[in-house]
Amino acid sequence: MNNGVSDLKINETINELAATLNSSSKTIAAKGIKHAGSLWRKEDGSEDEFKLFCIKYFVSDSSEKAEVFNKACKNFESLFGHFSQLSLELRENIDLDRGPLHYIDEMFGSYSVGAHFSDDFFSNKIAFIIALNFPYYSLTEKNELGKNWSAKDWAYARLGDFFINRIPAELQQKATAVSSKAGLYVSEYNIYMGKITTDNDKQLFPIDMVLLSHWNLRDELKSNYGNKEDGIEKQKTIYEIMKRIIAQEIPQKVINCGEYFWNPFSNKTFKDGREVSLTAEADTRYQHILNNFHAMKAIDSYTPEMNTYIMRTFAGEMEIPQIEVENIFDEYLRAPLLKKLAELIKQRLGRDLLAYDIWYDGFKARSSISEEKLNAITQKLYPNTAAYEKDMAKTLEKLGFAQENAQNISSFIAVDAARGSGHAWGAQMRTAKAHLRTRIGAAGMSYKGYNIATHEFGHNVEQTISLHQTPYYTLNGVPNTAFTEALAFLFQKRDLEILGINNSDKQVDNFKILDICWHTFEMMGVSMVDMGIWKWMYENPQATPTQLKTQTINIAKNIWNKYFSAIYGSKDEPILAIYSHMINSPLYLSNYSFGSLIEFQLGQYLKGKDFGKEVERIWSLGRLTPRHWMQKAVGQDLLSKPLLEAAEEALKNI
Ligand SMILES: [Zn+2]
């Protein structure tokens, strides 16, 4: 057993310490001793040493406790802040537009600065002092007790989250190795489209076209909605390929290899005009999912508070219990509006829906202002990164931020020329700056670049407010990953408004909303499959890859039949099982849907309000749980209704 301290010794410690304490300290001491005891290992000392440690280091005096807390905040800010700063500097050549890369850049850039932090802090015993005095509260406790917590209570509880488990390094390494192997499998899963033949043996795709599963396959399918000539034939062919991948009937030698012609309808392969028989892929797809499962399951007993990967992902990282996620998705997936939206799509396509229309891409309206005209405006305004940086405070003022606050926030954001498409790097200490990375061409910033930069700027503003304006360092941030996207999208949506262009194109917005609504329908469907697979693996830990394959297809078909088939008019479609995320980022998919829900709920709340003032109020709440954050931000729980209502409205208006 990984718990080094017996229940007997824990109770003895609690009783001995309790005799000297008042009743509220007693409760905290009992909680802290239990938690610290669960983290204690033989190498930390004997059970008697554990008892002496607790008696010596439990702080019962509230002002001394505040002093310990403040010192911890100051030092953790310094540690995490400098870790982040070091990574930023080590990655400079990788992230910034600095000419050719040398292999040594990659090697420095992948160095993990804080990798030994946790081990070091258990061995110097600071982790135990934190665990003992700032005990860990489960999500249920945070959601329940948090109603009456002050900002300081929340900040103490968040400090208690710093050391909640102690996973042996070899298990962590195993999980990382398994995950990077799965990532590699996904990144090398290319289909040579020039070698694909259709039902009647035609070659429709360009000879040099190579598409990665499933993203590129999906994007090629999407891009054919406008192709009146052979678009539908191409789309049907791509869906056949996907079905062969899901069922693992795809010949091994057509993956990442252009040696053979392949007809995915008949599943026959050819070379030099002759049919060749090839063996199918050996359920490798499902082997990788199982490898992930076994690596995560090995960690379970070291996280007694959250002893499944499902709990660690949802109740742990996301801080929304899995069952709640499922309920929110279920409610959305049953919304009558989706049927109305499907009717509109049928009308626009002039045919009944096919399963792959989960990726319908036709909700686009042409803007009344041409892209060339917009390019001319942004290129002139922003010839380089310095021009964008100089303009940030004014941009915030245009969005309704008070002048002084706009200047203050902007002074903590630096703009750099990025090597890639751009990103937002948040600071982890108040003396460092956040970095907005954007790509600006020789002619200046294109409108597309500006649109993305506005999104990243939203991230930087969210990072800066939630670091500088939250009352305590341990509260900095937002509830989870999905929440970080909300402000970025709210900024991006206002990009024309910032340029002073009065966008009377309501139609563009209406179609955008319908697009998000339809896309969320699909994303919630695939998230349901992802969750279903993990629940089944926990019920069947001995499953073979072939059994997992059969079950995954069953789960995908069941979700289809439950939510999609009445709208699509077809049964037993396996399409929801094609997502590559299920292999390389297990259980991540639901973040996307949450991002959309949060964006619309905040958007609806902010309508007609003072944008700048409200943004500062909401994003300075800090890292409460999603439930308490939403309650304090908009006075409601997280709901799917605002997105559905916006779509209902948009549907009326087009
Ligand atoms: Zn983003």
Spatial distance between the Cα atoms of 304 and 376, rounded to a whole number of angstroms: 59
Cβ atoms of 600 and 643 closer than 8 Å: yes
How close is the Cα of 633 to the center of ligand 1, in Å? 20
The pLDDT value given to residue 420: 79
Cβ atoms of 593 and 520 closer than 8 Å: yes
Spatial distance between the Cα atoms of 478 and 61, rounded to a whole number of angstroms: 31
pLDDT surpassing 80 at residue 4: no
The structure tokens listed for 335 are 């919304």
The pLDDT value given to residue 112: 86
How close is the Cα of 423 to the center of ligand 1, in Å? 8
Q: Average pLDDT of 44-48? A: 96
pLDDT surpassing 90 at residue 421: no
The letter for the amino acid at 31 is: K
Q: What is the layout of strands, in order, in the sheet containing 434-438?
A: 413-417, 434-438, 422-425
Q: What is the layout of strands, in order, in the sheet containing 274-276?
A: 261-263, 268-271, 274-276
Return the SS3 of 368: coil
Identify the helix (H) or strand (E) that includes residue 344: helix 337-349
How close is the Cα of 459 to the center of ligand 1, in Å? 7
How close is the Cα of 489 to the center of ligand 1, in Å? 7
Assess whether the previous peptide bond of 214 is cis (omega < 30° from 0): yes
Q: Long-range CB contacts (< 8 A, 24+ apart) of 277-280? A: 278/251, 278/252, 278/253, 278/254, 279/251, 279/252, 280/248, 280/249, 280/250, 280/251, 280/252
Spatial distance between the Cα atoms of 173 and 116, rounded to a whole number of angstroms: 13
Q: What is the pTM of this model?
A: 0.91
Cβ atoms of 53 and 125 closer than 8 Å: yes
- Bridge partners (DSSP) of residue 435 are 414, 425
How close is the Cα of 595 to the center of ligand 1, in Å? 10
How close is the Cα of 488 to the center of ligand 1, in Å? 6
pLDDT surpassing 90 at residue 474: yes
How close is the Cα of 412 to the center of ligand 1, in Å? 19
Cβ atoms of 605 and 598 closer than 8 Å: no
Beta strand pairing status for 210-212 and 190-192? Answer: antiparallel
The pLDDT value given to residue 135: 94
Taking the CB of residue 361, how many other CB atoms lie within 10 A of it? Answer: 17
- pLDDT tens track for 542-594: 999 999 999 999 999 999 999 999 999 999 999 999 999 999 999 999 999 99
The letter for the amino acid at 427 is: A
Geometric angle at alpha carbon 60, from 56 and 64, rounded to 5°: 95
How close is the Cα of 559 to the center of ligand 1, in Å? 29
Residue 59: left if φ>0, alpha if ψ -120 to 50, beta else—which one? beta
How close is the Cα of 486 to the center of ligand 1, in Å? 8
How close is the Cα of 13 to the center of ligand 1, in Å? 48
The letter for the amino acid at 235 is: Q
How close is the Cα of 310 to the center of ligand 1, in Å? 25
How close is the Cα of 169 to the center of ligand 1, in Å? 31
- pLDDT tens track for 297-354: 999 999 888 999 999 999 999 999 999 999 999 999 999 999 999 999 999 999 999 9
Spatial distance between the Cα atoms of 516 and 595, rounded to a whole number of angstroms: 11
How close is the Cα of 122 to the center of ligand 1, in Å? 35
Spatial distance between the Cα atoms of 242 and 244, rounded to a whole number of angstroms: 5
- pLDDT tens track for 140-170: 999 999 999 999 999 999 999 999 999 988 8
The structure tokens listed for 498 are 């910032």
How close is the Cα of 594 to the center of ligand 1, in Å? 13
Q: How confident is the model at residue 1 (pLDDT cuts 50, 70, 90)?
A: very low
- Burial string for 211-230 (b: 16+ CB within 10 Å, else e) reads bbbbebbbebbbebbeeeee
Cβ atoms of 196 and 205 closer than 8 Å: yes
Spatial distance between the Cα atoms of 281 and 346, rounded to a whole number of angstroms: 36
Q: Where are the alpha helices (DSSP H) in 58-193?
A: 62-90, 92-95, 103-109, 117-123, 126-133, 139-145, 151-159, 169-187
Q: For residue 631, how far is the Cα from the chain centroid?
A: 22
The pLDDT value given to residue 504: 66
- pLDDT tens track for 104-145: 998 898 888 888 899 999 999 999 999 999 999 999 999 999
Spatial distance between the Cα atoms of 10 and 291, rounded to a whole number of angstroms: 36
**CA proximity to 345, closest of 332, 329, 331, 358:** 358
Percent of the chain with pLDDT over 90: 85
How close is the Cα of 552 to the center of ligand 1, in Å? 31
- Burial string for 313-337 (b: 16+ CB within 10 Å, else e) reads bbbbebbbbbebbbebbeebbebeb
How close is the Cα of 616 to the center of ligand 1, in Å? 19
pLDDT surpassing 70 at residue 2: no
Helices (H) and strands (E) in the chain, counts: 31, 8
- For all residues of the chain together, what is the average pLDDT? 94
Return the SS3 of 251: strand
How close is the Cα of 42 to the center of ligand 1, in Å? 44
**CA proximity to 358, closest of 137, 515, 548, 153:** 515
How close is the Cα of 490 to the center of ligand 1, in Å? 11
